Amino acid sequence: MLEILSQNQIKQIHEASIEILEKIGITFYHDMALKIFKENGANVDGKEVKIPEDLVKEALSNAPHEFIWYARDSKHNLYIDNSKVYYSGIYGHPFVLDMKDDRRRKALLKDVEEITKITDALENIHAAGGMIVEPSDVPPEVSHVYVYLSMLKNTRKCILGHAYGVKARDCIEMAEIVLGGYEVLLKKPFIATLINPTSPLQYGTEMIEGLLFYVKHNQPVIITPLIQAGGTGPATLAGLLAQQNAEFLAGLTLAELVQPKAPVIYGTASTIMDARTGIPCAGAPEAGLICVATTQLAHYYGLPSRVSGGLTDSKIPDIQAGYEKALTCLLASLAKPNLVLHAAGSLEYYLTASAVQLIIDNEILGWISRVLSGIDVTPESLAFDVIKNAKEIGHFLTQKHTLKHFMQEFWIPKITDRHPWFVWKSKGSKDLVKKAKEEAEKILKEHEPLPLDKDILKGLNEFIKQVETREQRLVKSKNHF
């Protein structure tokens, strides 16, 4: 397990975070949140909340160390217990790199279907992501329910829902329809969401409403500061980590005050800001360091963790995308977080989704997963008798041990080329992007996701009609005034 902080450094960051909470405080733009903090002994002045260490300690003691994140198909349940690193698809990209003509365009609802369907078929991606893209061909006030429905129809894997206000409630109600009611949902963490503080040291109204909806239904919240070092946080990584930790602990404390034992994951999407452009950098080495340090802090608290990995600042699937994605994801994975979000399919920071890149990233994740599995040392794997026999015949090729372990021990890539030059030439001299595009097209043509039950699908469609009616009334009401 990779560690970059000593235990003493972790304690220093924790203590600095507590000092921030007690002396500087966090701004909460939500009356109910302010009331909850005040009733539990926090110092509330207007919208500013100074949180005492005792409240933080109580929240940490209440938060579960592990839980099961249930999928539509139990074979794809995620056991959030530090036994495995899981990889997830993307969340909330406004643009798509079109697979047919390589044009960057606004995302459409069909992109949700296609990317989710491909994700469902890929063996190294364990969760489908959530709100995959922001479709421009659906009214924004109802796009969340159409996106969630499309994802439910096209994957058996775990999905994240919308986090904002009433949209969070809509996604939770859809999850209830899928599982069979409120009581079932309470017992099964099924739909997680991202809760992002507004750095520095603020929580917005809609994010707090989303947090409250999810924790009251016992659904996982991934509290994820997205700090830009030098912009919305200190330029020093230690200072950024202290601020990020304070923002996370504030959200955790609220969640556990509202619903003790609520499943909370410590997340990060923090990185640096390029001083030359003012633009945040997804593929920077500092982003990887922040992921490792955040995972260490989560381990220190005994909490599940989520990091960002497999990200790039490149606009297309090229060499820059390859090295930034591989290095940031490998660095993050070696720290052993529970979940790596945006692990596959993302380009240009968090802006552009790509089905072709999704296929390439699945290959990278297979490579990394093999590294994480390590080397198994047993009498069988030490192979004394096999070596003895090979000495006599001069090779290992015909031995049963070799045939058995070829498939068990070695990672076999799908689109990576390992042929000699003349074989590669005879097969059309295809580069990785061309092969990834062909694989994506093949999956879209051949893969059949597990269908939703007809009654469940009917219930979801009826619910969407209700949401559309509600939003139309709101529009009319606003126009009237």
Per-residue model confidence as pLDDT tens digits over 392-422: 899 999 999 999 998 889 999 999 999 999 9
Residue 208 has pLDDT above 70, yes or no: yes
Mean pLDDT of 450-458: 97
pLDDT on residue 480: 54
pLDDT tens for 304-316 read 999 999 999 999 9
Q: Are 263 and 211 in contact (CB under 8 A)?
A: no
Q: Are 49 and 26 in contact (CB under 8 A)?
A: yes
Other C-beta atoms lying within 10 Å of the C-beta of residue 372: 13
Q: Are 168 and 193 in contact (CB under 8 A)?
A: yes
Residue 158 has pLDDT above 80, yes or no: yes
CATH 3.20.20.480 assigned to 61-373 = yes
Question: b/e per residue, 18-54, with b = 16+ CB within 10 A?
Answer: bebbbeebbbbebeebbebbeebebebeebebbbbee
Residue 66 has pLDDT above 70, yes or no: yes
Residue 431 has pLDDT above 90, yes or no: yes
- Rounded Cα distance between 344 and 163, Å, is 21
pLDDT tens for 89-98 read 999 999 999 9
Q: Which helix (H) or strand (E) holds 159?
A: strand 158-160
pLDDT tens for 457-474 read 999 999 999 999 999 888
The domain spans of the chain are 61-373
pLDDT on residue 83: 86
Other C-beta atoms lying within 10 Å of the C-beta of residue 180: 12
pLDDT on residue 41: 97
Mean pLDDT of 205-231: 98
Q: Which helix (H) or strand (E) holds 193?
A: strand 191-195
Least Cα distance to 16 among 186, 222, 242 occurs for: 242
Other C-beta atoms lying within 10 Å of the C-beta of residue 473: 10
pLDDT on residue 407: 84
Task: Give bridge partners of residue 229 from the DSSP assignment.
Answer: 233, 272
Residue 481 has pLDDT above 60, yes or no: no
At residue 91, the 3 state secondary structure works out as strand
- Rounded Cα distance between 131 and 150, Å, is 10
Mean pLDDT of 188-212: 98
pLDDT on residue 474: 82
Q: Are 427 and 137 in contact (CB under 8 A)?
A: no
Percent of the chain with pLDDT over 70: 99
Give the pLDDT band of residue 12 (cuts 50, 70, 90). Answer: very high
173-176 contact pairs (CB < 8 A, 24+): 173/463, 174/145, 174/148, 174/149, 174/460, 174/463, 175/219
Q: Are 365 and 124 in contact (CB under 8 A)?
A: yes
DSSP codes of every residue in 340-351: EET-SSEETTTT
- Rounded Cα distance between 432 and 411, Å, is 18
pLDDT on residue 85: 98
Residue 172 has pLDDT above 90, yes or no: yes
36-45 contact pairs (CB < 8 A, 24+): 36/254, 36/257, 36/258, 37/254, 37/257, 40/257
Percent of the chain with pLDDT over 90: 96
Residue 154 has pLDDT above 80, yes or no: yes
Give the pLDDT band of residue 299 (cuts 50, 70, 90). Answer: very high
Angle between helix axes 143-154 and 454-480 (nearest 10 degrees) is 170
pLDDT tens for 244-279 read 999 999 999 999 999 999 999 999 999 999 999 999
Q: Are 36 and 257 in contact (CB under 8 A)?
A: yes
pLDDT on residue 473: 87
Residue 75 has pLDDT above 80, yes or no: yes
Task: List CB contacts of 284: < 8 A, sequence separation 6 or more.
Answer: 271, 272, 313
Task: Give bridge partners of residue 150 from the DSSP assignment.
Answer: none
Q: Which helix (H) or strand (E) holds 271?
A: strand 271-273
Tell me the pLDDT of the chain averaged across its residues. 97
Q: Which helix (H) or strand (E) holds 294?
A: helix 285-301
**For residue 200, cis peptide bond before it (omega within 30 degrees of 0):** yes
pLDDT tens for 109-144 read 999 999 999 999 999 999 999 999 999 999 999 999
Strand 339-341 relative to strand 305-308: parallel, antiparallel, unpaired? parallel
Q: Which helix (H) or strand (E) holds 61?
A: helix 53-62
Mean pLDDT of 380-398: 93
